[in-house]
Structures are given as C-alpha cells and as structure tokens.
Chains A and B, each alone.
Chain A
C-alpha cells in the first residue's frame, strides 16, 4: 500500500491552456474522489467514481472540467481553457467499498497556478 499518488505536484500554466492531472488511488479502493481546495478553505467536492462509473458531479464542475476513470483504477482530471479562478490545490482521495464508514485517504494534491 503506497498511498494515493497524484501527479504532477505543481503545474503552472497560462490562461486558456488545457491541463490534465492524474491520480492513482490505493489499489483495490473502489471509490475515487476529486476535491478542490483554495488557500485557507476546506476542500470542496468536485466529483466521485465508484469503480469506472462517475456517480456524482458537483455544480462546481463546469463544462470545462472533465474527469475519467476508464478502467476503474487511476483517474484523470482535465481542465480546458483554464482561467485564473481555477488556481487551487486539486486533491484526490480514495476509499474502499461503497462508502459508509470508510474514511478517505488523500494524496498530496496537485497545485495549479494559472497566470
């Protein structure tokens, strides 16, 4: 068990560019979550997957955002036409089973800076 891994750790991009982040959950964790966190705030839910199925998307996830988990293992989060307001830490987390009492195990996050 190597924990949740996120890549890259940091990403600086110019406004209007597309970016993609990757998350590798703890193996055999069925659920995978994406959160966004701005400085001094709590993580905000974006979306989550049960295996390869995307079960819920927050209204924070505009049509410029898309997330996939094609084989039920790793996941990618893509942001198209980035805006300065997208600058944040993007956190990935995973948990076993179908929810319930299992806490989320978080990765170190990907910090996005849009200039």
Chain B
C-alpha cells in the first residue's frame, strides 16, 4: 500500500522569505502523480501544484516549485517570497486510483 509522510507538523517563515516543506512517499508503482494541496482555515482543499512521476523536470507554478527526487521518493514544496495568504495546512498527496494524503504541515507566515 502507498504511504505519504510529512515529517514537519508545523513550520514558520518570515514574510517574503523562502520555505521548503518536506514529503516522502512509498510505492511500488512506476507511474503515478504527486500533488501538493493547500487548505486554508476556510477548509476547502485547493490544488497548488502537480508532478508526473515520469517527468524529470520539476514542476513550477509561480512562487511554488517542487524538488522531485524519484529514486529517493521525495517530493518537497518550495514557496518563494512567502505571503500572508500562504498561511494554511499543506498536504502532500500521492495519486494512484485514489489520492492518499500525508498528515499535513501547518505553515505560519510571520509578518
């Protein structure tokens, strides 16, 4: 069975600084997808970024980028120029037939 591990329950970053959230996963499959979701206090899950496992190039979406290390089964999220609106729970997710989520990292932005 696939598992997703986020080892940082909480993190804080100064506004305008860069922060990296860690994620590791376990799977025996070779073709899969990985996602980062954001859940603000309003609680609706919002897709931040996605990565296809067969692509070596790391995905980028504006201030958000990933460091995908397939052999190490690592999928970290980097947020550049952190903004107050980035404060939320961030979930790493593995996509097979269903999506398996990690336990999340609560990100605080310090003004």
Contact = CB atoms under 8 A, between A and B. Distances in A.
A43 B45 contact: yes
Given A41-B104, A43-B91, A109 B99 contact: no
B97 interface: yes
Nearest to B106: A40
Say what secondary structure dominates the interface of chain B. Answer: strand
A91 B91 CA distance: 14
A101 B104 contact: no
A43 B44 contact: no
Interface residues of B, number: 24
A101 B95 CA distance: 7
B102 A42 contact: yes
Contacts of B46: 106
Nearest to B9: A40
Interface of B: 4, 6, 33, 35, 42-47, 50, 52, 91, 95-104, 106
